[in-house]
Structure 1
Amino acid sequence: FSALVEAKPWGHSGIAQLSLVLLDDENSDLQGLGVITWPDGSQSRIEATRHTNADEKSEAATSDDKDSADKQSNDKNADSSAEAASKPTPVVYPLGAFGAAGSASAPECVALTNAKIWTCGPEGILENATLLIRDGRIEAVGADVKIPADARVMNVEGKHITPGIIDCHSHMATDGGINESTQAVTAEVRIGDFVDSDDINIYRQLAGGVTSANILHGSANPIGGQNQVIKLRWGALPEAMKFAEAPAGIKFALGENVKQSNWGERFTSRYPQTRMGVEQIIYDSFQTAHEYEQQWDRWRKSHRGSPPRRDLELDALVEILRGERWIHCHSYRQDEILALLRTLEEFHITIGSLQHILEGYKVADAMAQHGAMGSSFSDWWAYKFEVYDAIPYNGVLMHNAGVVVSFNSDDAELARHLNHEAAKAVKYGGVPAEEALKFVTLNPAKQLRIDTLVGSLEPGKHADFVIWSGPPLSTLSRCEQTWIDGRNYFDLKQDQQLRQRDRELKNRLIQKALRGDGPMLNPGESNSTEEVLWPRVDIFCRASNHRQGR
């Protein structure tokens, strides 16, 4: 059974929740097991044991002596409970769990010393090195860095520092609205208009060392919507989360997801419903966009007559033709991958990246020749028949063929340990650890065309980095701090403080509810007080004034 009980007898102020399972064992003194959740959110295990008559008499004899002390303790607890309930609730950003009281601090100059630094750049791995940050950029990295007098020095001896992890395929911070399935081509829609900066997954992925992510539409359309690369600036507004320097991109899709998004009793009329239809609609769309661009070029030269009618869908496709927008294409099977590459080559388009690409090992030579990059899963595919030929060596085989390979998440939970995904490149194929780390740092940066800014720890690049308790590919290591633009957005020690703060805030709300004024209603009764019936005070006052003729 479960019950709410006053916690005063145990020295706590407020209401505690008791959950107990009774045991039906006459031969044992143990009669129950359970948990009591205290007002501060902490828990204690409890055991209910059988008491003899002698025990009961002994307890009765001593109970009178405790009454006076209990009364004094209860009075103090009542006072402290009332005081806690009356405290104002602080405003945090975002307004919810793990919200920050203010924006992340940005010291002008920081020097992290005595670290093992995995640069993912030409310097390789540096022992007992210093990372010098100034104004959000990396100023220097190396073993003999001169530390300025104005620098804030952090001794991180024994720790490992890596570039921030970059997830090349994510759907977080979108509230699930990633597919516009009503038509086949939706190049005009922009997922960047609906970034949810309050999504708790942003904070959770910061705790896994992720600093940037490519937010993509779903795969219901052959030509989907425009993507948005973000930085995980927890507590910032949606616009401030956007990676401003990242080139524009767009989501394409092939295979079963596109076909089957039209199946069923309700969805039977949208073209295409076959793989050949998917290839054809992509070809037709680029041909239409090419003609649309020519119409605009002719009008700009002559200015005769009316200009062509503006088409936002075709505008996005023209940007692809001009090399101003990069395609990130959901793909699985080798046949449709080759068909797409040949279609793009006919229009002189180089693809940005092939996403998932679980049969990439079969066409790695064609990918390398085209210049295509592959953002794959490490060993995740047991979810549909389309990925029947997937193997754990896929990423390594593409890598060995000269393809730039990354491992992505496509999942809010998987993104929390992408460093472990990179480690699987070591397990499946013997990729050196330093090179495997690039699968989640430098390589996704290359695929998103932001590698001149992030992805490695080099002077001039953004100060996006992670401090690990041990080797970054080890399952025993933990992300201790995550920095973006020279600001600390996640700190493991501060995380514990935030957890305690949020437990106290939660308890404060619970205690206010439990101690609320007004009588308890019986089943079937309703509260007829007019103020309670109105959800907002301003609406109630307006309605009341109207009835009174004011």
Structure 2
Amino acid sequence: MASFPSVLRHGCAALFLAGIWAAPINLPAQATQSGAPTDVVIKNATVMTVTHGTIEHGSVWIHDGKIAGVGATVDAPADARTIDAVGKFVTPGIIDPHSHSALGDDINEATSPVTPSMMMIDAFDNRDKALYQALAGGVTTELLLHGSANMIGGQAVVIKNKFGLSRDEMLFPNAPRSIKFASGENPKRVYGRRNEVPSTRMGNFEVMRQAFEDAKAYMASWDAYNAKVAKGDKDAVAPKKDLKLEALADVLRGKLYVQIHCYRADEFLTEEAIAKEYGYKIRAFHHALEMYKVGDKIAPTGTGIATFADWWGFKDEAWDAIPWNAVMSMREGVRVALKSDSNDYVRRLNQEAGKMVHYGGATEEEALRMITLNAAWIIGVDDRVGSLDVGKDGDVVIWNVDPLSTYARVDKVYIDGDLFFDSSLPGFGTTHFSGAMHDAASEGSDDEGDEQ
């Protein structure tokens, strides 16, 4: 049997953590052999590349954690570890661009409507079982966001779902920084019931504009100080460092991707006007249930959306939601991704994508793109994950049937070429976690949190 550190490194720690370790277990060769092979070949599969079509009876070669070959055949070494995936399907790892997994009840710092210096990494609990459940659904990357209590919330953390490893080992290396904004009902409710600003949409946007006016003044004071120093003024006094204003200044400098919780068509237009006024770009609107009304106006800005497939009616802002929103917006030129915002939905994002074929007639590739490459773009990591292309990270999922089917089940998940989930191993099957999944379904929502 593999040593505990070896098992831990390859994700099998879930067996220990769940208390369901059964011995003896025949672990994959990749986890049991010292000097494990660095080459893995998945062959005879239906390979859904996302970027260059679907290859019947295709192969994917992963070398040293990167995709080294994709095609009908690959030129892998003879001693590569080979998985015969005949009758199965292979896709890139699923990417969730809006998650609150592993943040517990710390998703909102609801003590002020402007908290951009909050860091979600400080709330990240890498032991959360929701991460393992997402992994079992083929999710390999997640953007863990601040909640939507505030007009300007905290800064997100991006993870690779290497469940069983340390917190630092789960961080996505050099992922761009994102920050969470929110407008509409949530900040209105949180502060309005305290009789504080903002309690209206007018208050929402006043708070936002004032925050950026403060940031501009802060930047100007530092610019003036730096100019004096550059001229040799030894008496120049540096302004006081302010973490909140530093973060807002980074938004204005374009150093933070702006991710905005927003539902209504009129608010998309207001948010874009404010972004233009202060000179920053919006990366994506999240939820965006009324984007179908103004997709032609938002598409030219380059702003994407991360939306639900068919959630509706759960709050006033969601009454005009329609399940055709994603495809209609895509047809207008908007970059569309699907997301979970739920420890329950994250386990079946593949099925959410499948709905897009039904609602609006998306092709399989367009639907799959919504949970892979487009989601990766929203996070800013599409150059490294989101499709099966040579040079990208070896984040690969093997499915028993077409992943857009309701019958689809994950067989294996590789992240950076390492095996992190294998349904054939005792303890890895979802039956052991059925009760935990039921518990998880109620963990992700918060009355002051992201969507309820």
The alignment's TM-score, normalised by the length of structure 2, stands at: 0.86
Pairing 1:212–2:141 present: yes
Alpha-carbon displacement from aligned partner over 1:7-42 (angstroms, at most 9, x marks no partner)? xxxxxxxxxxxxxxxxxxxxxxxxxxxxxxxxxxxx
Indicate if the aligned counterparts of 1:130 and 1:145 stay in contact, CA closer than 8 A: yes
Alpha-carbon displacement from aligned partner over 1:118-154 (angstroms, at most 9, x marks no partner)? 0011x21111111010111001111131221231111
Aligned twin of 1:386: 317
Instruction: Write the distance in 2 (CA, Å) between the matches of 1:107 and 1:382.
Output: 51
Percent identity, aligned pairs only? 41
Task: List aligned pairs for 1:358-507, cutoff 5 A.
Answer: 358-496=289-427
SS of 1:261 mapped into structure 2: helix
Aligned twin of 2:50: 120
Give the partner amino acid of 2:97.
C
Alpha-carbon displacement from aligned partner over 1:362-417 (angstroms, at most 9, x marks no partner)? 11112112111011000012311221111111101110011100111110011100
Which of 281, 289, 308 is the aligned partner of 2:215? 289
Aligned twin of 1:190: 119
Give the partner amino acid of 2:170.
M
Query: How far apart are residue 439 of structure 1 and its match?
Result: 0.6
Q: Is the deviation greater in 96-105 or in 485-494?
A: 96-105
Task: List aligned pairs for 1:133-144, cutoff 5 A.
Answer: 133-144=62-73
Which of 39, 46, 53 is the aligned partner of 1:109? 39
Query: How far apart are residue 245 of structure 1 and its match?
Result: 2.2
Instruction: Write the distance in 2 (CA, Å) between the matches of 1:158 and 1:344.
Output: 49
Query: How far apart are residue 316 of structure 1 and its match?
Result: 1.1
Instruction: State the number of aligned residues.
Output: 410
SS of 2:282 mapped into structure 1: coil
Pairing 1:254–2:183 present: yes
Instruction: Write the distance in 2 (CA, Å) between the matches of 1:118 and 1:98.
Output: 36
Instruction: Write the distance in 2 (CA, Å) between the matches of 1:428 and 1:500.
Output: 31
Alpha-carbon displacement from aligned partner over 1:159-195 (angstroms, at most 9, x marks no partner)? 1000100011111101121011111100011011221
Indicate if the aligned counterparts of 1:98 and 1:499 stay in contact, CA closer than 8 A: no
Instruction: Write the distance in 1 (CA, Å) between the matches of 2:413 and 2:308.
Output: 24
Runs of 4+ in 1 over 3 A off after TM superposition: 90-95, 98-107, 495-502
Instruction: Write the distance in 1 (CA, Å) between the matches of 2:109 and 2:56.
Output: 50
Query: How far apart are residue 294 of structure 1 and its match?
Result: 2.0
Task: List aligned pairs for 1:19-38, cutoff 5 A.
Answer: none
Instruction: Write the distance in 2 (CA, Å) between the matches of 1:396 and 1:152.
Output: 40
Query: How far apart are residue 422 of structure 1 and its match?
Result: 0.4
Give the partner amino acid of 2:70.
V
Aligned twin of 2:242: 311
Indicate if the aligned counterparts of 1:93 and 1:99 stay in contact, CA closer than 8 A: no
Give the partner amino acid of 1:286.
F
SS of 1:330 mapped into structure 2: strand
Alpha-carbon displacement from aligned partner over 1:241-300 (angstroms, at most 9, x marks no partner)? 111221000000010101001244xx22x3211101111211121122122112212212
Which of 281, 285, 301 is the aligned partner of 2:227? 301
Query: How far apart are residue 350 of structure 1 and its match?
Result: 1.3
Give the partner amino acid of 1:247.
P
Structure 1 segments unaligned to the other structure (5+ residues): 1-89, 503-550
Task: List aligned pairs for 1:278-357, cutoff 5 A.
Answer: 278-303=204-229, 304=233, 305-357=236-288
Aligned twin of 2:17: 96
Instruction: Write the distance in 2 (CA, Å) between the matches of 1:396 and 1:427.
Output: 10
Instruction: Write the distance in 1 (CA, Å) between the matches of 2:267 and 2:432.
Output: 52
SS of 1:132 mapped into structure 2: strand
**Aligned-residue CA RMSD in angstroms?**
2.3
Task: List aligned pairs for 1:500-519, cutoff 5 A.
Answer: none
Query: How far apart are residue 497 of structure 1 and its match?
Result: 6.3
Instruction: Write the distance in 2 (CA, Å) between the matches of 1:334 and 1:498.
Output: 42
SS of 1:172 mapped into structure 2: coil
Q: Is the deviation greater in 92-101 or in 229-238?
A: 92-101
Q: Is the deviation greater in 347-356 or in 105-114?
A: 105-114
Indicate if the aligned counterparts of 1:275 and 1:336 stay in contact, CA closer than 8 A: no
SS of 2:17 mapped into structure 1: coil
The one of the two structures with greater contact order (alpha-carbon pairs below 8 A, sep at least 6) is 2
Aligned twin of 1:271: 197
Aligned twin of 1:509: none
Task: List aligned pairs for 1:82-93, cutoff 5 A.
Answer: 93=13
Pairing 1:235–2:164 present: yes
Instruction: Write the distance in 1 (CA, Å) between the matches of 2:211 and 2:242.
Output: 13
Instruction: Write the distance in 1 (CA, Å) between the matches of 2:192 and 2:324.
Output: 33
Instruction: Write the distance in 2 (CA, Å) between the matches of 1:320 and 1:495.
Output: 47
Instruction: Write the distance in 1 (CA, Å) between the matches of 2:138 and 2:185.
Output: 33
The alignment's TM-score, normalised by the length of structure 1, stands at: 0.71
SS of 2:203 mapped into structure 1: helix
Query: How far apart are residue 500 of structure 1 and its match?
Result: 10
Query: How far apart are residue 421 of structure 1 and its match?
Result: 0.3
Aligned twin of 1:170: 99
Pick closer, same or farther for the CA change 1:155–1:498 going to 2, 3 Å: closer
Give the partner amino acid of 1:300.
N
Instruction: Write the distance in 2 (CA, Å) between the matches of 1:349 and 1:324.
Output: 9
Give the partner amino acid of 2:314.
Y
Q: Is the deviation greater in 145-154 or in 357-366?
A: 145-154
Instruction: Write the distance in 1 (CA, Å) between the matches of 2:89 and 2:342.
Output: 26
Give the partner amino acid of 1:180.
E
Instruction: Write the distance in 2 (CA, Å) between the matches of 1:431 and 1:184.
Output: 39
Indicate if the aligned counterparts of 1:250 and 1:325 stay in contact, CA closer than 8 A: yes
